[in-house]
Amino acid sequence: MTSRFRRGPGRKLPFALAGAVLAGALLSGCAALVLGTVVGGAMVVTDRRSTGSQVDDETIEVKANGRMSEAFGDRARVSTTSYNRMVLLTGEVPSASDKTTAEQVVARVDNVASVVNELTVGPLNTFTERSKDTYVTTKIKASLIDAKDLFANSIKVTTHRGVVYLMGRVTEREANRASEVARGVSGVVKVVRVFEVLTESELASTQRRTLAQPDRAASAAVVRP
């Protein structure tokens, strides 16, 4: 997707038009290239991944979900969440061998750096259970936005059977704070941190890096508080 807007010298893109541009990008399926929110007519960058990583994550999720359908059909329900080329698997599969197969299939998708396999072996979740998880995820996202000392757009939230998985590129302080916020939401059974933890200096360097230049994804281990 390529968009160009021409403006005269000294003129700023009107706020209303800027909002329309953002909405149009989302509706046209180009959300992967929207890097922030519009404030005062300017784009404020809040995503800590490079542009290349964001596009890769979108592509990885589409390909991985397709391959899960091919491998299991209706026998399993596998959800893939990719952040900075690290893929989290949640959902239900019939057997331990299916759990292993799912991880192997996703690991072969182009640009996947690592896989965190949190699949549950057992029956598929009911609609009611999935609805509860969706509600918990929504509440946590809202709580992260309300927390003024966090950049909510830098954290992905996934919930499965009340277990909340947090992904993103954050500092140790942010990881602890986000976990605290998530634990305070009703319906949360446990919080699992799947963060890529950065030092304050690494974060500063990341924010200065040109977003158009893809960075190298780091493998991160699951941290269970």
Q: What percent of the chain has pLDDT over 90?
A: 65
Give the pair of three-digit tokens for residue 198. 């950065």
pLDDT band at 213 (very low <50, low <70, confident <90, very high): low
pLDDT of residue 46: 67
Nearest one of 128, 31, 115, 110 to 80, comparing CA atoms? 115
| Residue ranges of the chain assigned to CATH 3.30.1340.30 | 61-121, 127-208
Residue 15: CA atoms inside 13 Å, Cβ hemisphere, count?
Answer: 2
The whole-angstrom separation of Cα 109 and Cα 102 is: 11
pLDDT band at 13 (very low <50, low <70, confident <90, very high): very low
Give CA 30 to chain center in angstroms: 16
Residue 32: which residues within 8 A CB-CB, separation 6 or more? 54, 55, 57, 58
Q: What is the pTM of this model?
A: 0.74
Would the pLDDT of 4 be above 60?
Answer: no
The type of residue at 63 is K
Please report which residue ranges of 147-209 form alpha helices under DSSP H: 172-183, 200-208
Would the pLDDT of 210 be above 50?
Answer: no
pLDDT of residue 208: 73
Angle at 175 between CA 42 and CA 84, to 5 degrees: 60
Encode pLDDT of 178-192 as tens digits. Answer: 999 999 999 999 999
Encode pLDDT of 60-84 as tens digits. Answer: 999 999 999 999 999 999 999 999 9
pLDDT of residue 207: 73
pLDDT of residue 201: 87
* Mean per-residue pLDDT over the chain, rounded: 81
pLDDT of residue 209: 66
Residue 111: which residues within 8 A CB-CB, separation 6 or more? 56, 59, 60, 85
Q: Which CATH class is domain 127-208?
A: alpha beta
pLDDT of residue 73: 95
The whole-angstrom separation of Cα 5 and Cα 111 is: 32
Give the pair of three-digit tokens for residue 205. 């360097």
The whole-angstrom separation of Cα 179 and Cα 193 is: 7
pLDDT of residue 109: 98
Encode pLDDT of 27-39 as tens digits. Answer: 444 443 434 444 3
Q: Which CATH class is domain 61-121?
A: alpha beta
- Packing angle of the helix pair 51-72, 96-107 (nearest 10 deg): 140
Selected residue with higher pLDDT from 30 and 150: 150
